[in-house]
Amino acid sequence: MVKRAIPMHGFVAPGFEPVREEFVRNFEERGELGAACAIYSKGEKVVDLWGGYRDKRAQAPWEEDTLVIVFSSTKGLSALALALANSRGYFDYEAPVAHYWPEFAQNGKERITIRQLLAHEAGLAVIEEPLTLQILADKDALAAILARQRPLWEPGTRHGYHAFSLGWYESELIWRTDPPHRTLGQFFQDELATPLGLEFYIGVPPSVPTERIATVTEPWLVPKLLGMPKGMMLSALNPRSLAIRTVNPRIHSNLLLNSPAFRVLEMPSMGGIGQASSIAYAYSVFATGGKELGITSQTLAALRTPAVPPTQGWMDLVLHRDMGYSLGFLKPFPGYQFGSSDAAFGAPGSGGSFGFADPDAQVGYAYAMNHQGVRVLDEPREKILRDTFYRCLQQVAERQVIA
């Protein structure tokens, strides 16, 4: 029987052909199902690839306009929205959250700063009151629950991944400081997506056809556990651990997020659905000076600043490994690098998606897929594309110098 050819599309600029070769090898050798990768260099798109299948069962091909959930890579797009609000003077990163949201001061949170919240240092990784789809769709009910939550550690001393909760706190902060009082998802659409021509949604509108959205798969439990840091693996087996308690509502499988009931919700930490090309372009704008959005030099400098650990070090209490965060983004930290310098900022997502800005190299990068991997960072299918791109970028620069 003749093996069916895997659909593959897109282009790479001269000098970046090895990226396409590795993208193809992801399908041939590394178990890729459907994926897209887009990269901008100095404002120009140099990689735009998509291929495979958006739906495994139907064998529906991944199209140029296919959308896919990117899980926690959404945090990066949400943080870009907050950076835009900061640039416009809506809030100060150093100010207490309660300055803009007085109810937040309950249960010992009056001195938590926005910077601490966005760096996962606020101790609010767990929302102890149960959340339902109905509560998540009710902004005021959700805000009241968030305001009542007590910190689980002294803010500023440790950090622990606010996997679900961070985006809801960010959204309420935007609503409190934005003059028209928009949620984060609406602010993102109005102030970033529309001006930049992005197709990325934090809460998918009913006008988007369901068949355009890729269906996500999930790895078997044992490989998934083995891909975690040892401490996180043990936490995943303990229902009382921080890692398990951060999951609220109780989503026992990422496959639940294929449901339209979840897609329509604004979940700014992990529910964003869109195109890799849009993610890459958004980061490219911030990596090249932000003039399209009028981002101030002060905000850009804040985004570039290297991560600083909380007082008790880099170890993340939820993920059980060192991590580096700043202003809502993952940042390079000792033992883990991405981009060309510590100025880079972005966000990875469950299963392997990743988007980031590299201001020193003026790069905007994004990879998204529907077959979930098992690594917390450096999913092999993503990392090989990233590493290959940077090797090509260096070689192109060297040839330009010789010429």
- What letter would DSSP give residue 367? E
Segment 234-288, tens digit of pLDDT: 566 666 778 788 887 877 777 888 889 999 999 999 999 999 999 999 999 999 9
User: Residue 232's pLDDT band (boundaries 50, 70, 90)?
Assistant: low
Domain range summary for the chain, segments of one domain joined by +: 60-365
Fold classified for 60-365: Beta-lactamase (3.40.710)
Structure tokens given for 348: 């990875």
Does residue 3 have a pLDDT over 80?
Answer: no
Listed in sequence order, the residues at least 6 apart from 94 whose beta carbon sits closer than 8 Å to its beta carbon are 113, 114, 115
DSSP for 224-236, please give it.
HHHTS-HHHHHHH
Q: How far apart are CA 50 and CA 60, in angstroms?
A: 13
Segment 111-164, tens digit of pLDDT: 999 999 999 999 999 999 999 999 999 999 999 999 999 999 999 999 999 999
Dihedral of CA atoms 262, 265, 271, 276 in degrees, nearest 10, equals: 110
**Residue 283: strand, helix, or coil:** helix
Segment 18-64, tens digit of pLDDT: 999 999 999 999 999 999 999 999 999 999 999 999 998 889 999 99
Does residue 2 have a pLDDT over 50?
Answer: no
Note the pTM of the prediction, 2 decimals: 0.95
Q: Identify which has the larger pLDDT, 90 or 1.
A: 90
Does residue 317 have a pLDDT over 90?
Answer: yes
